[in-house]
């Protein structure tokens, strides 16, 4: 693993079914929320990426449901990246309940494309450089602990 990030997300009432269990589709939303916060922590936002002329469409999503999440639980969503992006990149996700039990795993594959032509492209150099700087910062912070 070259990179990881985690965030907390509370299961809202609107995200649950009649039994108080979080609907399966909301895990994919949580993957996106964690991925967005990770980018923000890295100093990028989707708005900034798009201003630079790049879009990152989702190519594939996988989700494995192990145990349910319930209304008002605070879940920990961890996102991981195991390899530097090329023309596409994978973000792995793990969702834990309040007691620390792994309840869901997922993978989102995103691509890169030019916003103007909608043609695929490689990861922009500035994106890779931002990732590398973030990885180095994370390594330094972990050494201090």
Tens digits of per-residue pLDDT, 51-102? 999 999 999 999 999 999 999 999 999 999 999 999 999 999 999 999 999 9
CATH 3.10.129.10 for domain 3-144: yes
What is the structure's pLDDT at 139? 83
Cα–Cα distance measured from residue 59 to residue 69, given in angstroms and rounded to the nearest whole number: 26
User: Nearest 5 degrees, angle CA 32-CA 37-CA 6?
Assistant: 90
SS3 label, residue 39: helix
What is the structure's pLDDT at 143? 76
Domain range list for the chain: 3-144
What is the structure's pLDDT at 2? 81
Cβ-based neighbours of 108, under 8 Å, separated by 6 or more: 28, 31, 32, 35, 58, 60, 61, 62, 90, 91, 93
Average pLDDT over every residue of 15-35: 95
What is the structure's pLDDT at 3? 86
What is the structure's pLDDT at 141? 81
Residue 138 has pLDDT above 90, yes or no: no
Token representation of residue 143 = 């050494």
User: Phi and psi dihedrals of 136, rounded to 5?
Assistant: -65, -40
Average pLDDT over every residue of 123-135: 93
* pTM of the predicted structure, to 2 decimals: 0.91
Residue 8 has pLDDT above 90, yes or no: yes
């Amino acid at each position: 693993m070259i990179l990881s990030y985690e965030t907390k997300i509370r299961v809202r009432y609107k995200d649950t079914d009649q039994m108080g269990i979080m609907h399966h589709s909301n895990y994919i939303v949580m993957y996106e929320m964690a991925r967005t916060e990770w980018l923000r922590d890295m100093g990028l936002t989707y708005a900034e990426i798009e201003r630079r002329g790049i879009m990152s469409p989702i190519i594939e999503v996988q989700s494995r449901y192990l145990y349910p999440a319930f209304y008002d639980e605070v879940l920990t969503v961890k996102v991981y990246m195991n390899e530097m992006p090329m023309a596409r990149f994978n973000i792995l996700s793990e969702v834990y309940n309040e007691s620390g039990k792994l309840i869901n795993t997922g993978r989102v594959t995103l691509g890169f494309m030019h916003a103007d032509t909608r043609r695929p492209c490689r990861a922009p150099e500035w994106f890779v450089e931002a990732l590398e700087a973030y990885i180095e910062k994370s390594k330094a912070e972990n050494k201090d602990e």
